């Protein structure tokens, strides 16, 4: 991958940040003056200078000694991610096997229990037929025969005029109830 060229706004931001770093390093009183509490800090005392030079020299020496080891080796590292990888693998197994079996069992049992009420919605005339079956004392059909009947859309279709007539009758009855209640 080749590095892309640096845009002028990025160059300006890096230059301004570098200038501020050098300015606070050379003249730290600028930074200390804006702190909320008074600070007495002297950055360039002889002991601080010696400590910083020692730190830089030993860091450079360690880098020079271990430069051969810094390249990296093509190995597989077993790090702390092993724990969460194994945990996630176990969690995935638990969700796919035991929990999925429980879900499948519950779904099968509940779908068998829901089939009966759902069957009622498949044939809207099933309940009136069943009521008339019990009121007539059984008749020639059995309960199972009525239950097994499928709903034929075209055989139960009524003309739109009947629905309009029923609606008008209900509205008329409602209007009579309102008039009776208001009088």
Residue 1 binned pLDDT confidence (cut-offs 50, 70, 90): low
Number of H helices, E strands in the chain: 8, 0
Q: What is the pLDDT of residues 126-172, one digit of tens each?
A: 777 777 777 777 656 666 776 667 767 666 566 677 778 889 999 99
Q: What is the pLDDT of residues 62-94, one digit of tens each?
A: 999 998 888 777 777 777 888 888 899 999 999
Residues 16-35 as b/e (b if ≥16 CB within 10 A, e otherwise) read eeeeeeeeeeeeeeeeeeee
- Please tell me the least confidently modeled range out of 1-10, 62-71, 96-105, 154-163: 154-163
């Amino acid at each position: 991958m080749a590095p892309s060229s640096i845009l002028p706004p990025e160059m300006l931001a890096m230059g301004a940040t570098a200038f501020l770093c050098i300015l606070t390093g050379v003249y730290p009183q600028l930074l200390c003056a804006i702190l909320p509490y008074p600070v007495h800090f002297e950055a360039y005392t002889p002991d601080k200078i010696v400590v910083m030079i020692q730190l830089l020299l030993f860091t450079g020496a360690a880098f020079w000694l271990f430069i051969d080891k810094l390249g990296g080796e093509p190995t597989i590292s077993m790090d702390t991610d092993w724990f969460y990888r194994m945990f996630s693998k176990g969690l995935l197994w638990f969700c796919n096997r035991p929990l999925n079996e429980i879900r499948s069992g519950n779904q099968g049992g509940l779908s068998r229990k829901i089939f009966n009420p759902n069957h009622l919605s498949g044939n809207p005339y099933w309940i009136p037929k069943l009521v008339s079956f019990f009121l007539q004392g059984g008749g020639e059909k059995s309960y199972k025969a009525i239950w097994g009947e499928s709903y034929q859309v075209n055989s139960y279709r009524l003309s739109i005029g009947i629905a309009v007539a029923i609606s008008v009758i209900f509205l008329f009855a409602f209007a009579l109830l309102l008039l009776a209640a208001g009088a």
